[in-house]
Amino acid sequence: MKIQKVIKCRIVHLTKVKRELLTQEYENLQKFLQGDNSVKLYSANKQQAKRYYKRVKPTKEYPLSIRKDLIKVKRKNTKIAKYWARIPVAGRRGGVWVAIKLHQDMPNDVEICESKLFRKNGEFYLHLTIQKEIDFVKVEPLDYILYATPSFTINERTVVIANDIGEANPIVSVELWGFGKQRKNVRFLGREVRAIRQHYNWLKKSVGRKKIKHALKWIKEHVKHKESRKVADVLHKATRSIVDRSVELRQQGFEPIIVFGNLKGVRRPRIKGKTRCRKNNRKVHTMPSYKIKHMLLYKALWAEIPVAIVNEAWTSKQCWRCHSTNTVVRKRMFKCRDCRLEYNRDLNGSVNIGNRLLGYMLGNRADVNQPQTPPEYSIPFSDSVCEGRSHRL
Ligand SMILES: [Zn+2]
């Protein structure tokens, strides 16, 4: 299968002439999108714009989309920059070569795909989409989705890195060794997210209270982006560390597989007569869980680490040790009434998720004793199960 990712880079050390050419191309694109057909725009860029931007808002600036055969990136190792990119513009044959600064080295065996040129605060940025071929396939048996090499099997060297993705603890990760007999290396990742979100919610409220002129606009410009950037940064680091750990395990000769849960087509049901309070609503709809799953999947696949997604229904309710569902889940605590297990609630969930995959893949469900997936309306919802909208990865 093919896997893509975006490398963001800043265009640096622009000469006056090149800056003018880029600015002209970029501004002409905006004019063209607003309906001015007479502007000078590189023909392929014009076609791209026609293809991509069907509906245009008058106040927004749109990036210049560059066709994959027209963008070129070269490693030149010059004094001012390691890498250079060629951007096609009207008025100069062969486009302009600009120095770019990447946040990471460009891998060797990749193909460059459609890329985008942005302008922000007078600076130009290039988002390069790169693609590579990995020998993974996506298989979808009834109960789970697996991305792995066709020959992938569970054996004694397999380390299942199970992750429960939730709200209070964005990621709870645990390693299951030896067919799930041993649990090691429990990690609580991304906890800073909560503090960041609380801080910004407080900020938004206080701005609202003071009735600052154009408060809403101010919030939109200053708070929203900063908040999501900070949250994204924390999540990037957290997901990166899981993938790094997997790579480390692989180097030691083990076979790691990353697994997380997902609710298939399950939407939080509305219960008659029970209104959700605003505070909870806000939390539900801005949950970072979708982002986490997406990041984890793509980062892992890029590093060629197998990934599995299992249905996470009941994983927070069931006891991982005795599989009983006669349990108490209160705040962050989990208690089993049958075997007296007391555990961190999210950790219990992630052990269950890992065990569920092992059960599916080893084909001995009796071992894992998974209850049948209940019909949609009866799925219990604790806050680790709420997602704003149903989605499938
Ligand atoms: Zn139990």
Q: Can you tell me the mean pLDDT for 36-64?
A: 84
Percentage of the chain exceeding pLDDT 90: 36
How far is the centre of ligand 1, averaged over its atoms, from the C-alpha of 346 (Å)?
A: 15
Model pLDDT for residues 287-314, shown as the tens digit of each residue:
678 888 989 999 999 999 999 999 888 8
How far is the centre of ligand 1, averaged over its atoms, from the C-alpha of 126 (Å)?
A: 53
Q: What is the DSSP letter of 8?
A: E
Give me the chain's average pLDDT, please.
82
How far is the centre of ligand 1, averaged over its atoms, from the C-alpha of 166 (Å)?
A: 22
How far is the centre of ligand 1, averaged over its atoms, from the C-alpha of 323 (Å)?
A: 6
How far is the centre of ligand 1, averaged over its atoms, from the C-alpha of 335 (Å)?
A: 8
How far is the centre of ligand 1, averaged over its atoms, from the C-alpha of 355 (Å)?
A: 14
Instruction: Give the Cα separation of 56 and 60 in Å (integer).
Output: 8
How far is the centre of ligand 1, averaged over its atoms, from the C-alpha of 345 (Å)?
A: 13
Residue 259: name the closest of 390, 349, 329 by CA.
Answer: 349
How far is the centre of ligand 1, averaged over its atoms, from the C-alpha of 314 (Å)?
A: 14
Name the more confident of 54 and 345.
Answer: 345
How far is the centre of ligand 1, averaged over its atoms, from the C-alpha of 174 (Å)?
A: 18
How far is the centre of ligand 1, averaged over its atoms, from the C-alpha of 319 (Å)?
A: 5
How far is the centre of ligand 1, averaged over its atoms, from the C-alpha of 348 (Å)?
A: 10
How far is the centre of ligand 1, averaged over its atoms, from the C-alpha of 349 (Å)?
A: 13
Q: Can you tell me the mean pLDDT for 139-159?
A: 89
How far is the centre of ligand 1, averaged over its atoms, from the C-alpha of 77 (Å)?
A: 60
Instruction: Give the Cα separation of 182 and 156 in Å (integer).
Output: 12
Residue 50 Rama label (left phi>0; alpha psi -120 to 50; beta): alpha
Measuring CA to CA, how many Å separate 344 from each of 30, 78, 84, 108, 200? 53, 54, 50, 43, 28
How far is the centre of ligand 1, averaged over its atoms, from the C-alpha of 320 (Å)?
A: 7
The pLDDT of residue 378:
38
How far is the centre of ligand 1, averaged over its atoms, from the C-alpha of 61 (Å)?
A: 56
How far is the centre of ligand 1, averaged over its atoms, from the C-alpha of 332 (Å)?
A: 17
How far is the centre of ligand 1, averaged over its atoms, from the C-alpha of 178 (Å)?
A: 21
Q: What is the DSSP letter of 157?
A: T
Structure tokens at 91: 């008025």
How far is the centre of ligand 1, averaged over its atoms, from the C-alpha of 360 (Å)?
A: 21
How far is the centre of ligand 1, averaged over its atoms, from the C-alpha of 159 (Å)?
A: 24
Q: How many Å from the N-terminal Cα to the C-terminal Cα in the chain?
A: 16
The pLDDT of residue 308:
94
How far is the centre of ligand 1, averaged over its atoms, from the C-alpha of 333 (Å)?
A: 13
Model pLDDT for residues 176-193, shown as the tens digit of each residue:
999 888 899 999 999 888
pTM: 0.78
Instruction: Give the Cα separation of 142 and 307 in Å (integer).
Output: 16
The pLDDT of residue 12:
92
How far is the centre of ligand 1, averaged over its atoms, from the C-alpha of 374 (Å)?
A: 20
How far is the centre of ligand 1, averaged over its atoms, from the C-alpha of 318 (Å)?
A: 8
How far is the centre of ligand 1, averaged over its atoms, from the C-alpha of 325 (Å)?
A: 8
How far is the centre of ligand 1, averaged over its atoms, from the C-alpha of 342 (Å)?
A: 9
CA 136 to chain centre: 20
The pLDDT of residue 386:
35
User: DSSP 3-state assignment of 59?
Assistant: coil
How far is the centre of ligand 1, averaged over its atoms, from the C-alpha of 370 (Å)?
A: 13
How far is the centre of ligand 1, averaged over its atoms, from the C-alpha of 179 (Å)?
A: 19
How far is the centre of ligand 1, averaged over its atoms, from the C-alpha of 274 (Å)?
A: 31
How far is the centre of ligand 1, averaged over its atoms, from the C-alpha of 324 (Å)?
A: 5
Structure tokens at 255: 């076979």
The pLDDT of residue 273:
56
Name the more confident of 316 and 239.
Answer: 239
Q: Quick check: 172 and 188 in contact, CB under 8 A?
A: yes
